[in-house]
Amino acid sequence: MVRGGTHTLRSLDYWQRQSNQGGKPITAAAESSSDAGRDRDRIVNLSDGIFAIAITLLVLDIRVPTIPENLVASELPGELLSLWPRYLGYFLSFVSISVFWMIHHAIFRPIRAYDRTLLYLNFLFLMVVAFVPFPTALLGEYGNHQLPVAIYAATLATGRLLLTAIHWYSTRNGRLLAELQDPTMVRFFLIRGLTISAMFLISIGISFFSVRAAIWTWFIMIAIDAIVVRRRLPH
């Protein structure tokens, strides 16, 4: 009981000193580098959990059709085909969340410390990730209307902007990193993030004239981005 109480007091004392540090990296207040590593892992583990929940919830919008038993053979194929807007939303969101996770993983891999600003940015980003199943359901149900398309594009644009902000903040002066990153690669990923966000926003404008063209813009953007990344990062 004494050891447990001592550990608790140390934890409380650590977080009190961390709070008093304001925006300084936790390594300035942590008692050891292992403490900092464990705290960073807690951020990553929480983020992974939210990613896993959000990407799993996507499939819940694809429901099994209700058909009378004597009509299953004749009506089931057509009913399954009629669900194509939900398949589309599932595919787009699954790919988007997967890309979010890969970039998030790459951003946090070299991070050795964090501060309040990075925490806030990460929580805002995770809030958008957790929200993605809702516009996905809207797109699957009303994908031929302009408003759901605009909401979906705005959601993914916001998520990508926040992810880009996390990348920019964590690399801007190297104080949160275990080692400095290649400035050329940092610039490439920042430009890539801003460009993709801009394309999602542009698709909102396109949706006022053609919903189908706006959706095709997303597929073209995914294909071009994959080609650019593959050529830029062949390994």
Helix, strand, coil shares of the chain, percent, nearest 5, are 80, 0, 20
The per-residue pLDDT for 235 is 53
- Whether 4 has a pLDDT exceeding 50, the answer reads no
What are the domain boundaries of the chain? 1-31, 36-232
Q: Are 87 and 141 in contact (CB under 8 A)?
A: no
177 beta partners: 111
Q: Return mean pLDDT, the chain.
A: 81
111 beta partners: 177
Q: What is the pLDDT of residues 207-219, one digit of tens each?
A: 999 999 999 999 9
Q: What is the pLDDT of residues 178-203, one digit of tens each?
A: 777 777 887 888 888 899 999 999 99
Distance, CA of 197 to CA of 213 (rounded, Å): 17
30, two tokens:
């942590």
Instruction: Give the model's confidence band at 232: pLDDT under 50 very low, under 70 low, under 90 confident, else very high.
Output: low
Report which residue type is found at 23. Answer: G
Distance, CA of 90 to CA of 85 (rounded, Å): 9
Q: What is the pLDDT of residues 72-107, one digit of tens each?
A: 777 788 888 888 889 999 999 999 999 999 999 988
Distance, CA of 9 to CA of 16 (rounded, Å): 10
